[in-house]
Amino acid sequence: MTIADRSQVPAARRVVVKVGSSSISGDNAGQIAPLVDALAEAHGRGTQVILVSSGAIATGIPYLALDSRPTDLATQQAAAAVGQNVLIYRYQDSLDRYDIVAGQVLLTAGDLENPTHRTNAQRAMERLLDLRILPIVNENDTVATHEIRFGDNDRLAALVAMLVKADLLILLSDVDALYTKPPQEPGAERIHEVAFDDALEDVVIGSTGLSGVGTGGALTKVSAARQAAEEGTAVILTATTLVTEALRGEHVGTWFAPAP
């Protein structure tokens, strides 16, 4: 179905929710439980939910006794191998409260560009959803290379939404909405809705994130939102702390209208 406005969100058949590293790792690891609460509420009313979660590298860093995010690919891969295991455990531990089972899906950009791999991924995701499993998708950082990496999971989330023909994509971060300029600057105004053909010519969009553990920023989120909207998927950009309200169709964040 086409979700024309927020009032139709609770009736969405299939929703992709993307959460960034800074929202569910380090000092914010405690946000996993309320995020799961929101996903479980939507799952309980019959919505098929897919979570695209960053955070494998950020979660693995403390276990490798590193002080900051590694810059070399090999150490990033090592951190991801450790962190992905811990991250999925934390999600499943929280989902157990609702008797919901998670399914781990790791993808590279090459997987979605190769027709055979893309078809296999699509078939697996459809079957997981049919079985009422909650897929948790992340980039396969352990085998990804600089040439084929998504670069940020906002783009991955948009591609997953297109792959499964989702009705709605929710992009979560540590900022509650899109603003006319970086929200920390004086005079920044929240943008409530973005029409499908709005070029956002008067908006100054920052390209960097607000934390040291993520790789995405406002620029990547707007780009991902446009990509999904062009394929007919409505998009909400908001803060992780507002995911419950977003999934209930309340007036939070920035709404990107889908292509008519």
pLDDT digits (tens, 9 = 90+) for 180-231: 988 888 999 999 999 998 888 778 876 544 333 444 578 889 999 999 999 9
Residue 68, marked binder? no
Higher per-residue confidence, 82 vs 109: 82
- So where are the chain's domains? 6-256
Answer whether 26's CB lies under 8 Å from 213's CB.
yes
The third-level CATH classification (topology) of the domain covering 6-256 is: Carbamate kinase (3.40.1160)
| pLDDT at residue 26 in the model | 87
Q: In what order do the strands lie in the sheet with 134-139?
A: 102-107, 134-139, 48-53, 14-19, 168-173, 234-239, 254-256, 193-194
Residue 153, marked binder? yes
| pLDDT at residue 67 in the model | 83
Residue 18, marked binder? yes
Distance, in Å, from the CA atom of 145 to the CA atom of 78, rounded to the nearest integer, reads 13
Q: What is the pTM of this model?
A: 0.92
Q: Which amino acid is at 84?
A: Q
Residue 174, marked binder? yes
Residue 173, marked binder? yes
Nearest Cα to Cα of residue 227 among 150, 174, 175: 150
Q: How many CB atoms lie within 10 A of CB 48?
A: 23
- Mean of pLDDT values over 149-177: 90
Answer whether 131's CB lies under 8 Å from 82's CB.
no
Name the percent of the chain lying above pLDDT 70: 93
- Mean of pLDDT values over 64-69: 87
Asked if the model's pLDDT at residue 92 lies above 90, the reply is: yes
Residue 54, marked binder? yes
Asked if the model's pLDDT at residue 68 lies above 90, the reply is: no
